[in-house]
Structure formats: C-alpha cells, structure tokens
Amino acid sequence: MKKLKEKIQFLLLTFFIFLIAYWTIFGDNGILKLRKIEQESEKVKSASEKIKAENERLKKEIKLLQEDRKYVEKVAREELGMTRKDEIIYKKKQDDGKEKK
C-alpha cells in the first residue's frame, strides 16, 4: 500500500512538472511566444530606423528646395527636363538605340 501511494505521488509530481514545463514553453506567455515577439520587435526597430533615415534625408531635401535656388534649378532640369528660355537641348542616341541627354 505504501509503495502504491509513493508511485501515485511520484506520477502526480511528474505530471505537474511536465504540465508546468509545457506551459512555460508553449503557453500563451511561453518562451516560444516570447522569442517570436522579440523577433517581430527587431523587425519593427529596423524598419523604424530606415524610416527615420529616410525622413532625415527628406528634411534635408526640403530645406534645400526651400533655400537653395541652384538646387531647385538642378532638380527641375534633371527630374522635370525643364530648360531656361532660349536654351536648346540636344539629345544623342546611344549605341543601343536609346536617347541620351
């Protein structure tokens, strides 16, 4: 009788230990969930840093566009293809048949 009681206690203790270990690893707040959240957090931090760098670049460009007339002219020429009055643009074809400015 004593041996049976000890076996039952041992089995119950073992069952609860495995149950706690399972919850610790696989539960809603378990280790696996924590690792997944940490990975997602790193991705968000990385994306945030990229966005911050892009914002800084855009702020600098905005400042240049507001304050530097030569930069505005450069952008207008390169991106919009604008010219000054009485200015003629010559385009020459490249070897592959495409036009080059």
pLDDT in tens, 21-59: 988 888 888 888 899 999 999 999 999 999 999 999 999
Q: The tokens of 9 are what?
A: 């206690």
Confidence class of residue 79 from pLDDT cuts 50, 70 and 90?
confident
Q: Quote the CA–CA distance of 53 and 95 in Å, as a whole number.
A: 38
Is position 95 within any domain?
no
pLDDT at residue number 77:
85
**Which residues lie closer than 8 Å to 94 by C-beta, 6 or more apart?**
100
Q: Are 89 and 101 within 8 A, CB to CB? A: yes
Q: How many domains does the chain have?
A: 1
Q: Quote the CA–CA distance of 62 and 56 in Å, as a whole number.
A: 10
The number of beta carbons lying within 10 Å of the beta carbon of residue 77 is 15
Is position 100 within any domain?
no
Q: Quote the CA–CA distance of 40 and 29 in Å, as a whole number.
A: 15
Is position 48 within any domain?
yes
Is position 96 within any domain?
no
Is position 43 within any domain?
yes
Is position 36 within any domain?
yes
Task: Please give the share of the chain, as a percent, with pLDDT higher than 90.
Answer: 51
* pTM for this model (two decimals): 0.55
Is position 69 within any domain?
yes
Q: Containing domain of residue 75, as a range?
A: 2-82
Is position 89 within any domain?
no
